[in-house]
Amino acid sequence: MENFQGFLTTSSLLGYGEFQSGKGLMEEMEGGAENKTFAGLLGTEKKKGDRKKIRKPRYAFQTRSKVDILDDGYRWRKYGQKAVKNNKFPRSYYRCTHQGCNVKKQIQRLTIDEGMVVTTYEGMHSHPIQNSNDNFEHILSQMQIYTTSF
DNA sequence: CGTGTTTGACCAGCGC
DNA sequence: GCGCTGGTCAAACACG
């Protein structure tokens, strides 16, 4: 849904005030994580070491929903799940399955509010949405965005 | 058969 | 230097 995409971007920009060199960040992200070779990634690339001064933009959404799987129109593949302290619920790590799209997102529930779900997006999509979500509008109208900064 | 999920192990960073 | 912790990978499995 184009509307949602524009909305998402706007919110992200608003939430991450320091997000000005978006292109640079994107390029670095793509260049760094693009190498899917395991050995290459481990041996050559030091993703965390490279981000010395640069912060990766992360956009956090807090939503009230019974289901933590909020489909925003993109296809996500789960690549990890870890338990966090101060939170008895595990955190799920998702990644966009589009080729060349390294956008990540993690979903975490709040212990206090089981109905509260924090969705943190990392990176920006540079490709059209694959999923035809006409029912997503319905979901959107149901969820409320509280904060966009992290 | 293609795609996504599960799950334990692995690695790098950080604190002590 | 050692151990903990968060984040990621990848083989096996499940599902249409």
Return the amino acid letter for A39.
A
Distance A107 CA to C9 C1' (A): 19
pLDDT in tens, A64-89: 655 555 666 788 899 999 988 877 78
Output the average pLDDT for chain A.
58
Q: Which two tokens stand for residue A64?
A: 């009230």
Q: What is the DSSP letter of A18?
A: T
> Which has the higher per-residue pLDDT, A36 or A47?
A47
Residue nearest to nucleotide B10 (CA to C1'): A42
**Euclidean distance between CA atoms A98 and A37, whole angstroms:** 17
**Euclidean distance between CA atoms A70 and A30, whole angstroms:** 25
Distance A97 CA to B4 C1' (A): 10
pLDDT at A93: 92
